[in-house]
Structure 1
Amino acid sequence: MQTTYFWIGLAVILVLLDLWIVNSVWRSDKTLGTKAGWTALVVVLPFVGAVIWSVAGPRGVTKGPSSPEHSKG
């Protein structure tokens, strides 16, 4: 029974990681085709796609905070 919880927990972590990757890809400054390709890779092959993205994925977020007040500490 505990092994089942382990795999469920691992699957939840993988899904959250993949959602974070897809969000990061779509916030990058790459072309629409590149974004769609990375999204398809991560959705079709979640673990392998995450590993490949961590090595070769797009970097740089182009959209910052929504207002100057939001970024004040």
Structure 2
Amino acid sequence: MSIEITGILGLILLICVIYALLQVAQSNESSTAKLIWILVLLFLPFLGFIIWLFIGPRGK
């Protein structure tokens, strides 16, 4: 049972990170800020998503 739960949670995390990446790409931040956010989200998906929720760039 734990394998199924882990797979579902991983899929949910993947969807959340993809959403955050799209929001960062569409924001009005500088290219450097976008690059930093993208790297944070790619290398630290769970922690990066939590940080992005609180202090990340907002859409357009």
After TM superposition, the score normalised by the length of structure 1 is 0.80
Gaps of 5+ in 2: none
Which whole-Å deviations, capped at 9, do the CAs of 1:31-68 have from their partners, x for residues lacking one? 1110010000010000000010001000132xxxxxxx
The one-character-per-residue Cα deviations of 1:4-40 (angstroms, maximum 9, x if unpaired) are 0000000011011000000000000001110010000
Tell me which structure has the larger Cα radius of gyration.
1
TM-score by length of structure 2 reads 0.96
Q: Which runs of 5 or more structure 1 residues have no equivalent in the other structure?
A: 62-73
8 A contact 2:24–2:37 mirrored in 1: yes
1:6-25 → structure 2 map (5 Å cutoff): 6-25=5-24
For residues 55 and 40 of structure 1, what CA distance do their matches in structure 2 show? Answer: 17
Identity of aligned pairs, percent?
Answer: 28
Structure 1 partner of 2:30: 31
Q: Following superposition, which runs of at least 4 residues in structure 1 exceed 2 angstroms of deviation?
A: none
CA RMSD of aligned residues (A): 0.6
Structure with greater helix percent:
2
| Higher RCO, 1 vs 2 (CA within 8 Å, ≥6 residues apart) | 2
Instruction: Return the alpha-carbon distance in structure 2 between the equivalents of residues 40 and 50 of structure 1.
Output: 11
